[in-house]
């Protein structure tokens, strides 16, 4: 007879097995779709509405859209986001791993919250595209 932890682990493995493998783009972005959306993806100057959570590789959160979605033009964010969100369709959810070269690079950000040359992880849900 299987124990509850084994059943939970088996369910998680089955769910993970259905996810497409991560894709690494020419810029170094690692993109993994968690849920496919539908419709047209945004363009580089479209305004998007998203829920997101940003963490460091160790899992420590540095930013999130807590409580209310964030809205911004894609050409006004880090290159990793401009590229990654354009790979999504409304209703989709994805993970991004952003190397420093397409994140905040040597300058860091947030008054020291994001140190120089930090690799950043994001989980992003694309709610809406405004053209």
Instruction: Verify whether residue 56 is a known catalytic residue.
Output: no
Active-site residue among 62, 72, 96, 102?
A: 62
What is the spatial distance between Cα 82 and Cα 32, in angstroms, rounded to a whole number? 15
Active-site residue among 31, 102, 104, 114?
A: 104
CATH, domain range 21-130: 3.10.50.40
> 94 versus 4: which is more confidently predicted?
94
Active-site residue among 31, 52, 96, 114?
A: 52
Question: Which pLDDT value is given to residue 18?
Answer: 84
Question: Which pLDDT value is given to residue 67?
Answer: 86
pLDDT in tens, 62-118: 999 998 999 999 999 999 999 999 999 999 999 999 999 999 999 999 999 999 999
Q: What are phi and psi of 71, to 5 degrees?
A: -135, 130
Residue 14: its H or E element:
helix 4-17
Q: How many residues does the chain have?
A: 131
Instruction: Verify whether residue 104 is a known catalytic residue.
Output: yes
Instruction: Verify whether residue 62 is a known catalytic residue.
Output: yes
The ranges assigned to domains in the chain are 21-130
Question: Which pLDDT value is given to residue 14?
Answer: 57
């Amino acid at each position: 007879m299987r124990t509850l932890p084994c059943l939970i682990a088996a369910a998680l493995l089955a769910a993970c097995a259905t996810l497409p493998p991560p894709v690494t783009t020419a810029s170094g972005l690692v993109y993994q779709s968690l849920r496919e959306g539908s419709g047209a993806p945004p363009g580089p100057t479209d305004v998007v509405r998203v829920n997101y959570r940003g963490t460091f590789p160790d899992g420590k959160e540095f930013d999130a859209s807590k409580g209310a979605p964030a809205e911004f033009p894609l050409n006004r964010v880090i290159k990793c986001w401009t590229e990654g969100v354009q790979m999504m369709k409304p209703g989709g959810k994805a993970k991004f791993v952003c190397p420093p070269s397409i994140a905040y690079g040597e300058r860091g950000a947030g008054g020291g919250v994001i140190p120089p040359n930090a690799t950043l992880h994001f989980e992003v849900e694309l709610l809406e595209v405004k053209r």
